[in-house]
Chains A and B, each alone.
Chain A
Amino acid sequence: MKAKLPILWTSFACLLLVTTGCQTNSRDQALATSESQLALRQMQTRAFDMTNRNKMLRTIIATLQDLSFVIDRADAELGSVSGTKLDGYQLRMTVTVRPRGETQLLVRANAQYNITPVEDPEPYQQFFTALEKSVFLTAQQVD
């Protein structure tokens, strides 16, 4: 009987250690980002030497379809497209297009994988590489 107590404590301590990575108030998620906002914006944004917003939006839609997405919604006026990819997981992506100065368009993408935000640079890099191929233009990193 005596031996059970330390085992229980050890179990509890281990459980605490394991769960330290987890959150204490899930409402904090509403405005939370784990990466710094600047770093996140940098990996999610590229500039293209192009001024035709409609054409860029259509190219983004075609690229999303090439990547097996089904489009959820699009708004030409706002310049946004959202799509979902289902393949054993749920990947949701929103891409917006805004003018940048007189000669460029700024494309910003953000994605969520199931219930977590995508905050690695690599998936975004892959998306912009695919977009570059469809639009025949180079995607430029923006500071």
Chain B
Amino acid sequence: MNPSVDALRATFGNAIGRGLESCGDTIVYVGRDALLDVMAWLRDTPEQTYDYLVDVTAVEYRDRERPLEVVYGLRSLARRADLRVKVELDPRGDLAVDSVVPLWRGADWLEREVYDMFGITFRGHPDLRRILMWETYAEGYPLRKDFPLRGRFSRAEQVRQALAANPEAHYSMEELSIAEAYEELPVDMKERLRRGERGALPDSE
């Protein structure tokens, strides 16, 4: 068992749930409200220095009583130690956790992917929107267990919506707006940005 678990429990007390070992990895469950504090502590405490966020993902289990888990993989590059932190969410309740983007910038797209696939919102995320599916995707969150494998709409409706998407809007404008190049954009492009043009169904030509 990774000694970080005991150190966590000594520091945060009840906010730390059970810790267990699986295939040589240590998993520790953390209460949702304490997540940001725990992560900051794990990153900044000299004995811990989990400075590298490996991945953010989520798991939903087939038996619906089990909670939905958000999983954070942490690694300390200096100490060569791994720790997996999990937060349990009630699938019937409100699916929201604090974003760790303030701690690790790399969490940005990872959390967007979890949002896109599971519908979990990350409070405090700077730009939370779909990343894999297109922005007008209306069928729901594909990796949830109640999502039909072939999608909710008929194939014809899926084709219609896909064809109606503007092929140039996928990576559009938003990505540019947060880029440093914003000031150098042509005037008309800035205008389109200002109007919030993205993901809107294109007018018939």
Do the two chains belong together in a single complex? no
A residues near B (Cβ < 8 Å) are none
